[in-house]
Amino acid sequence: MKANQSTTQKYLLAVLVLAGWFALVTQFYINITSKAAALPELITRYFSYFTILTNLIVTVCCTVLLLNPRSKPGIFFARYSTSTAITVYILIVCIIYNIILRFIWNPQGVQLLADELLHSVIPVLFFIYWICFVPKQTLKRQELLPWLIYPLLYLIIILIRGSFSGFYTYPFINVTNLGLKQALINAAGITAIFIAISFLFITMGNLMSKKNTSSTG
């Protein structure tokens, strides 16, 4: 992250911040007013979705970078490895939703707006931010291993909670409907996608870093 942010960079961060908090708050309101379960359970379910958690990470990241980029959290989020990992997470949200989940339900009205923001608009905008405003550095491929901690920890918690509550956030890891073996096979497939996208971003970043170095050298 550059010390001085350009006006365009600040505008893009501001759009991400506004879109992120609007979508998250709107989805929270939709969840807690659905009456699908008791309020504590609805709140727990809201924070059980990888989509929500990842968009929350993106929105907090952009908020800090916009308002206080020189703070310790700002420095953390501005790290190339951190920003790249977050980009991978949010693009996985976009990819999985638009390939697997989009066609199994039909949101309407405000739900549709929140849905598109969380699964398509914000991921694309953050990817654009990564391309345009995150200074590329060389990363070793083994550096992606810590990036897997978040999705793997998420999966473990969701499977454990689901075994007690019977509620699974996504159909492809629903042990009740699929059985444990198939759910784990599906989870392994998603993990493979994570690893592939991570390798792709590391390769892209390294190539862009070398190009920038050669052009300024």
Interval 189-209: pLDDT, tens: 999 999 999 999 999 888 888
Residue 3 pLDDT greater than 70, yes or no: no
Name the pLDDT band for 106 (thresholds 50, 70, 90). Answer: confident
- Tell me the C-alpha distance between 137 and 152, whole Å: 26
CA 135 to chain centre: 20
pTM: 0.93
> What's the rounded mean pLDDT across residues 4-13?
89
Cβ-contact 63, 109 below 8 angstroms: no
> What's the rounded mean pLDDT across residues 57-70?
96
CB neighbour class for 94 (10 Å; exposed up to 12, middle 13-18, buried from 19)? buried
- Tell me the C-alpha distance between 94 and 167, whole Å: 22
Query: How many Cβ atoms from other residues are within 10 Å of residue 111's Cβ?
Result: 15
Interval 112-124: pLDDT, tens: 999 999 999 999 9
